[in-house]
Amino acid sequence: MDIEQGTEEQEGELTAEDRAGLQKLARIWRRQAKAGDANAAYLLAVLLRKGLTGRLNDKEGLRWLNVAAEAGQTEAQFWLAYYYERAENWSEALRWYAAAAEAGDAEAQANVGWYYELGRGTDKDNNKACEWYRRAAEQGDDFAQHKLGYLLEMVPGAAPGEAERWYRSAAALGNADAAYNLSLLLAAQGQGKQATRYLKQAAMAGVYEAQCNLAVQYREGDGVRKSAAKARHWAWKASCQRDWMASRNLARGYAEGEFGKPDLCKSSVFYLDAIEEGAPDTVEELLDEWRG
């Protein structure tokens, strides 16, 4: 049997021949960009900003990104907006997100909605945020669907059930925050079984508020079969995300014997975690355990 021999080149490293080929591409795209080709200008910008020709040239890359964006290249507009966002230049970021959004880019539309919701680079305006979120949501953007549902819960005059509809759509696409908010909405409507289903979806996806709530449900047997083991599991999951409430609940559970025999050592460790995470009035609670 022949054994494949290793090479001196590491996987993923560019060879001199690769570099030469990319430099040739840079010359082709630069020539086309100078002739007014917006796509070539965008591709040249990406190539230069990645440093794939042998040296990082962020300044020239940014210049060509601007050229492409000004010429209406939607992806260039989006990434130029992202560049300004990273620099915390909110007004320029919004300007370029809006340009890409007007061209129909769903992610850019969602970002414009987010800027209006937060008041970044513009005045805060939930109605305009809803308009942009809706445009992105109708294209299937799950972030926009979740945010639209959230705002519709607060905006007066929203059609009954519309927030729930968008939460369900986003949750079906795997948006964990939407699943969590939907669980709260359904619980408030008295639909406990469905609420728990979406709460579990959010908890399994790592939403720590959902993990905390699910731990409480298992501890109290609220809508689920009471289970100390599952209560401990979900409280521990939330605690791992440095949630002080989950850490304190675990501390109390171990102190009170909810997970078996009372364990003051484990309880104290979780109390210390909670204190480190900023839990109020917890030092005295820990002291009380040791005074007793």
pLDDT of residue 84: 97
pLDDT, tens digit, 9 for 90 and up, residues 50-62: 888 876 678 999 9
Q: Are residues 115 and 181 in the same domain?
A: yes
Q: Confidence band (pLDDT; 50, 70, 90) for 3? A: very low
Note whether 100 and 125 are same-domain residues: yes
* Distance, CA of 201 to CA of 177 (rounded, Å): 10
Please indicate, yes or no, whether residues 20 and 100 belong to a single structural domain of this protein: no
| One domain for residues 150 and 177 | yes
Last residue of a domain, one of 138, 158, 185: 185
Q: How many Å apart are CA 216 and CA 183, to the nearest integer?
A: 14
Question: Domain check: are 174 and 107 in the same one?
Answer: yes
Q: Which residues contact 36 (CB under 8 A, 6 or more apart)?
A: 71
Q: Which of 19-28, 152-161, 162-171, 230-239 has the lowest mean pLDDT?
A: 152-161
Same domain? 172 vs 125: yes
What confidence tier does 21 reach under pLDDT thresholds 50, 70, 90?
A: very high
The C-alpha atoms of residue 211 and residue 158 are separated, in whole angstroms, by 30
Kindly state whether residues 92 and 177 are assigned to the same domain.
yes
The tokens for 140 are 């299937």
Whether residue 283 lies inside any domain: the answer is no
Instruction: Give yes or no for residue 175 having a pLDDT over 60.
Output: yes
Q: What is the pTM of this model?
A: 0.82
Q: How far apart are CA 223 and CA 198, in angstroms?
A: 13
127 occurs within a structural domain: yes
Question: What integer pLDDT is reported at residue 242 of this predicted model?
Answer: 78
Q: Is the pLDDT of residue 2 over 60?
A: no
Q: Does residue 92 form part of some domain?
A: yes
Domain co-membership, 179 together with 104: yes
pLDDT at 9 over 50: no
Residues in the chain: 292
DSSP designation for 279: -
The CATH number that applies at residue 138 is 1.25.40.10
13-17, 133-137, 247-251: which is most confident: 133-137
**Terminal-residue alpha carbon distance, the chain:** 73
When pLDDT is averaged across residues 6-25 and rounded to a whole number, the result is: 73
Number of domains in the chain: 2
Percent of all residues in the chain with a pLDDT value above 70, rounded to a whole number:
95
pLDDT confidence of 69, banded at 50, 70, 90? very high
Residues 97 and 20 in one domain: no
- In 10 A of CB 111, how many CB atoms? 28
Which own/partner contact pairs does 248-252 have at CB distance under 8 Å and 24+ positions apart?
A: 248/274, 248/279, 248/282, 248/285, 249/212, 249/215, 249/216, 249/219, 251/286
Q: Is residue 289 part of a domain?
A: no
Percent of the chain at pLDDT > 90 equals 74
Domain boundary (185, 203, 225) is at 185
Q: Rounded to the nearest 10 degrees, what angle do helices 106-118 and 126-137 cross at? A: 160
List pLDDT tens digits, range 203-217.
999 998 999 999 999
Mind giving me the DSSP string for 53-91?
Answer: TSS--HHHHHHHHHHHHHTT-HHHHHHHHHHHHHTT-HH
- Give Cβ neighbours of residue 2 (< 8 Å, ≥ 6 apart): none
pLDDT of residue 259: 84
pLDDT of residue 155: 78
- Boundary of a domain, candidates 166, 185, 204: 185
Q: 136: domain range?
A: 88-185
Calpha distance 148→162 (Å, rounded) = 9
- Within a domain: residue 201? no
Look at residue 105 and tell me if it is in a domain.
yes
263 lies in some domain: no
Tell whether 49 and 122 lie within a shared domain.
Answer: no
Is there a single domain that holds both residue 67 and residue 153?
Answer: no
**pLDDT for 51:** 85
Which CA distances in Å does 14 have to 21, 51, 261?
A: 10, 11, 60
Same structural domain for residues 92 and 67? no
Residue 8 has pLDDT above 60, yes or no: no
124 assigned to some structural domain: yes
pLDDT tens track for 82-99? 999 999 999 999 999 999
Q: What is the pLDDT of residue 12?
A: 59
